[in-house]
């Protein structure tokens, strides 16, 4: 799903990670600059499309949300199909969500080839006072697994655009 007719690009990016790490809010922050304090498990909406400019070219970015499937460990292969980028998200204030990252990477690897651009995202960095995962722990895991790494806050809109833009840029460099 890299190039459409007419030289226009379409990139599919999936957002994965444990329940309530902030996946849907990262997506709504990126797509609509919105944050929801009381977001329920995502129902219905499957993806959001955004047009992003890279080197003067319009790139259509389709970001997929899990629609709550991750609660039941039932993210389907259709979800991953055609993905060229992935944000693998944990919550810096909940260690178990960080410990799940390897499992999410395994799942990504079974469904997608290794060329998928990957970003490890430590979300909720506004919750410094109750942090359970240090920046170094995040960095080290990212290095080990050869992922990009960033900490974000969907709440404060910190680094959200940047996290998507780095992934989009890497995909673009691969296909252009």
Compute how many residues bind ligand GDP; rule: CB under 6 A: 18
25 interface partner picked from ligand GDP, Mg ion, none, CB below 5 to 8 A per type: ligand GDP
Spell out the residues 6+ positions from residue 140 whose beta carbon is closer than 8 angstroms to its own: none
**Where does 44-157 have alpha helices with state H?**
77-80, 95-99, 101-111, 135-145
Q: Give the integer Cα–Cα distance in Å for 148 and 162.
A: 12
The single residue among 10, 39, 47, 137 that binds ligand GDP, judged by CB under 6 A, is 39
Q: Which one of the spans 42-50, 52-60, 116-124, 149-157 is the region binding Mg ion (CB under 5 A)?
A: 42-50
Which segment (23-31, 74-82, 96-104, 109-117) binds ligand GDP by CB under 6 A?
A: 23-31
> Who contacts 15 (Cβ-Cβ below 8 Å, separation ≥6)?
23, 26, 27, 63, 64, 65, 66, 86, 87, 89
Using CB under 6 A, which of 2, 10, 19, 131 touches ligand GDP? 19
Q: What is the DSSP letter of 38?
A: T
From the list 21, 22, 24, 167, which residue makes contact with Mg ion (rule: CB under 5 A)? 24
Write down the least CB distance from residue 72 to Mg ion, Å: 13
Q: 95-154: which residues touch ligand GDP (CB under 6 A)?
A: 123-124, 126-127, 153-154
């Amino acid at each position: 799903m890299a190039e459409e007719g007419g030289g226009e690009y379409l990139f599919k990016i999936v957002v994965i990670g444990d329940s309530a790490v902030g996946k849907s809010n990262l997506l709504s922050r990126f797509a609509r600059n919105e944050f929801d304090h009381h977001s329920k498990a995502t129902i219905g909406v499957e993806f959001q499309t955004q047009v992003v400019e890279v080197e003067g070219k319009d790139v259509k970015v389709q970001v997929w949300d899990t629609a709550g499937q991750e609660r039941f460990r039932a993210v389907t292969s259709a979800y991953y199909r055609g993905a060229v980028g992935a944000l693998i998200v944990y919550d810096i204030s909940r260690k178990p969500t960080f410990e799940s990252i390897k499992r999410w990477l395994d799942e990504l690897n079974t469904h997608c080839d290794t060329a998928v651009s990957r970003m490890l995202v430590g979300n909720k960095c506004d919750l410094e006072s109750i942090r359970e995962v240090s920046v170094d722990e995040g960095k080290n895991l990212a290095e080990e697994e050869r992922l990009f790494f960033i900490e974000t806050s969907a709440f404060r809109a910190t680094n959200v655009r940047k996290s998507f833009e780095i992934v989009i840029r890497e995909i673009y460099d691969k296909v252009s």
